[in-house]
């Protein structure tokens, strides 16, 4: 079976995990998140690249450059969830299956957080599971979207 390649993108302020609003996001750090994702990908036999940026333009460019390289994307757009048509358009342009992930349950938060442009192009949204949301997103991509019964190694 072909080793699947997954790009994990994290938006603004996720680099501040452990410091930023620990009552919402917990005390585990961004480094902890990356380690959790990388270890799980190895366990699942997938290749993963994890990247974080506070810049919308950089995230759009990463999505565009994923075309032809990655089989799936896990995206936590953070604050750009509610504002970025550019991220939506980039996801639509590359047509790579994308799972939207949020550490907190945004449906339980402020009214402005109820809008998600990214969700319009995502194959699934997972929220409120903390770090485990990324692992469930990886499972969904590997088991439900990208699986095959053979192919190149």
CB 29 within 8 A of CB 36: no
Whether pLDDT at 150 is above 80: no
| pLDDT, average across residues 64-91 | 95
| Structural domain spans, the chain | 5-145
Of the pLDDT bands very low, low, confident and very high (cuts 50, 70, 90), residue 83 is confident
The verdict on domain 5-145 having CATH code 2.60.40.10 is: no
pLDDT at residue 61 above 80?
yes
Rounded CA separation 119/46 (Å): 24
Mind telling me the catalytic residues? Answer: 25, 102
- 106 with 96: CB under 8 angstroms? no
Query: Hey, which residues does 75 pair with through a beta bridge?
Result: 9, 100
Please state, rounded to an integer, the average pLDDT across all residues of the chain: 90
User: What six digits make up the tokens of 39?
Assistant: 């270890």
Decide: 146 and 97 in contact? Cβ < 8 Å: yes
Q: How many Å separate Cα 6 from the centre of its chain?
A: 9
Indicate whether this model's pTM tops 0.85.
yes
Q: Identify the H or E element spanning 1.
A: none
């Amino acid at each position: 079976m072909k080793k699947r390649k997954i790009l994990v993108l994290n938006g603004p302020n996720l680099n501040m995990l452990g410091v930023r609003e620990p009552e919402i996001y917990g005390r585990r750090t961004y480094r902890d998140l990356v380690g959790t994702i990388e270890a799980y990908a190895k366990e699942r036999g997938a290749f993963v690249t994890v990247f974080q940026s506070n810049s919308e333009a950089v995230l759009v460019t990463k999505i565009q450059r994923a075309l032809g390289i990655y089989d799936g994307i896990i995206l936590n757009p953070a604050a750009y969830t509610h504002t970025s048509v550019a991220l939506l358009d980039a996801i639509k342009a590359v047509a790579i299956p994308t799972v939207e992930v949020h550490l907190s349950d945004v449906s339980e938060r402020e009214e402005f957080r109820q809008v998600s442009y990214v969700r319009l192009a995502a194959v699934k949204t997972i929220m409120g599971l903390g770090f485990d949301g990324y692992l469930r997103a990886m499972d969904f991509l590997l088991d439900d979207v990208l699986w095959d019964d053979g192919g190149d190694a």
